[in-house]
Amino acid sequence: MRSPRLPAPQRTRKQRNLLLFALSNSSRTHLPPHPDLSLLRVGLPFHAPATSFSSLGTSLFMLQRPRLETLIHTSLTSGLFLSMLDASIIATSLFSIASDMKNFEHINWVALAYGLTYLGFAALFARVSDVVGRGDAFVVAFCIFIAFSLGCGFSETIEQLIICRAFQGVGAGGLYSISMIVLPELTPDKNKKYIGAIVGMVIATSGVIGPVLGGVLTQYITWRWVFWALLVLWLSCCLFRLGPPRNICPFMRTGPGRSWTILGLSFCKSCFPTPLPVFANITNSMAFAVLVVFPFQNLSSQKAEGDLSSLNPYAQPTFIYPLVGAALALLLLIGWQTFAIRGPRKLKSLAFAFPPSLCNRKYIATILVTALTGFPYLLSVYAFPIRFQVVHGKSSLEAGLMLLPMLASSAIGTVTASLVNNGCITGQKKPRFFETFLLACLTMLIGCAAQTTLGDTDDGSITGFDAKDVGLLSLIGFGFGMSACGATMFINLESPIGDHASAQGIIAQFRILGGSIGIAVSSAILGGKLRPSTTPEMSSLVLAHIVSPTPDFGDDDWAAVRKVYTSALREDMKVCCGVLAAAVVCSLFVYRRYWLTTGEIMELRYEEELDRRIGLLREDVEPHVMAVRDKLIKIREEIFEGKRRPFPGIKRGRTRLGEEIEGV
């Protein structure tokens, strides 16, 4: 049974025709998709109150099948979960992979290659989706992820695996950013307050379930199923359905027959074609992200190989030059945006990777908090399973299970942040982002600081397994969950409607950037601690011990190695404390005293977007209207002067057309 048609806005035929003409023929309609404001409905009964031009076919399709909304949201959150899951699922499988491929020196590049391309292409896919549509960008990212997940499972050498992981990160970055964009666009206003909690819970949960699932597959089957299992799960989430019926959205057809949709997103050509803008600053942003992470991971590889000839490895050219290049890329990015904003008018219509409207104190502070809290979280996800296996002799499965407390605390943190900012706890519906970020940073700081006191006795001998290690991880997970949820909700309120896509992509980029730097720094610290205490051959035996129960190692040597790993993790936690102290300072700049509720702030954002679109429509339509009006006046004068003979019906057509043009 079809759902009842919602009442359309009361617009005259003249207004509808004018808006359709402007939106479909104007040369300046390559603007980002916007929510379904009353101006943009143009008389069409949309099912969801928030949609975009690129998802117009989806909204009309959902009008016929309202239950599809729940299906789409479930599928999108599943896709978001799996794209984040792949970032941490190999945390407990790295040493099994290294043992199988007989290459321990470059194993960390399997994780870093994914993170580098992930953070490099998250913002790019977000901006591309503004141009080619959400569906087209999503299916490209989907195909890339599936193809190279399959390639990772069939890799025979470490080089092949690193390359496939890099391209897998390209697809995962697109899946994450587009899912974060589509979810708010297809969610009714009454349910928007739950998006932050859902997204934050998905991000936090996937980061902890990943190592557990990776440990299960590695111990009972093989590490290759870590990648093949993702393929099976992704295919189960792909719900192929027929596109919108022809009588609902005939202009969405690209050819005869029906079109197909994945996850309910239409992949036919957009009914509002737009020219491709120039992404001049995408290259600079990607170069900055990659060059910041590269020197730290390269430093750890050199230390593991024993190739450093200097006592100060941070003075090596391979460490300094990439950072200098990253600084130059950042300066070029800032310079380009400044020139484009203040330069010729044509440049102002380009699609920016970092839109000018986001260059404000609160948003930049949120970016820094996101990156700085991602640093200790991903470091913990990768470093603690290694410690549990090396120091305490746990299996990969047991090491993954010991991270489960982070799962529960992350979920609690996301729900808490959502309730606080929606007024369910405080009794006031005014958002509390400042308190959310400050509490998140302080909680993570306490957890990391407490970790520095565990692991050794006073005489330096290694103690047994301490349950406090696992308990303190809960504080790190709780703080990260609050930070992830708060950042997602903050973007929806503080960023302009037209820049939601870029804002979500940038947040995703910096969260992975901070985590990737954390993993690289942890590897560098471990290499620096391990190299003076053991030989390179002994280091390889230590790594092999995790997957082989009979290493050629004495008790004294093994005790020394355990002490080195414990000392390295303690050093990691000290670095995390410094990073989180900086995060606490950055969270102070998020402060803003809100006088309005969340719903009132969103209404103001809609009104701002409405005014902006009206101004652009007038600017684009007025030249066409004036040209038609001048031609009509000329024809009318020629008829009155007898120079032109009116044909039958000209009076009626002229009168109606003249009234419409003059009334605009």
Q: What is the pLDDT of residue 222?
A: 83
Residue 662 has pLDDT above 70, yes or no: no
Predicted confidence (pLDDT) per residue in 322-379, tens digit:
888 888 887 887 777 777 667 665 555 555 656 777 778 888 889 899 999 989 988 8
Specify whether the CB–CB gap between 563 and 390 falls below 8 A: no
Q: What is the pLDDT of residue 311?
A: 54
Tell me if 585 is assigned to some domain. yes
Residue type, 186: L
Identify the helix (H) or strand (E) that includes residue 411: helix 404-421
Q: What is the pLDDT of residue 583?
A: 93
- List the beta strands (DSSP E) in 78-137: none
Residue 345 has a CB neighbour count (10 Å cut-off) of: 6
Measured CA distances, 52 to 29, 34, 187, 658 (Å): 13, 5, 11, 33
Tell me if 197 is assigned to some domain. yes
* Whole-prediction pTM: 0.69
Phi and psi for 265 in degrees, rounded to 5? -95, 125
**Residue 426, domain CATH:** 1.20.1250.20
Residue type, 254: T
Tell me if 40 is assigned to some domain. no
Q: Which domain holds residue 226?
A: 68-238+278-350+352-595
pLDDT band at 443 (very low <50, low <70, confident <90, very high): very high
Measured CA distances, 512 to 114, 123, 352, 378, 379 (Å): 10, 12, 21, 8, 11
Predicted confidence (pLDDT) per residue in 16-29, tens digit:
444 444 443 333 33
Tell me if 12 is assigned to some domain. no
Q: Which residue has the higher pLDDT, 130 or 634?
A: 634
Please state the domain count of the chain.
1
pLDDT band at 538 (very low <50, low <70, confident <90, very high): low
Non-local (6+) Cβ contacts of 405 within 8 A are 470, 471, 473, 474, 477
Residue type, 383: A
Predicted confidence (pLDDT) per residue in 545-582, tens digit:
544 444 455 666 667 777 777 888 888 899 999 999 99
Predicted confidence (pLDDT) per residue in 37-94, tens digit:
333 333 222 233 333 333 333 443 444 455 656 666 776 777 777 777 877 788 778 7
Q: How far apart are the first and last CA of the chain?
A: 41
* Maximum pairwise Cα distance, the chain: 112
Tell me if 260 is assigned to some domain. no
Non-local (6+) Cβ contacts of 128 within 8 A are 137, 279
Q: What is the pLDDT of residue 350?
A: 56
Tell me if 228 is assigned to some domain. yes
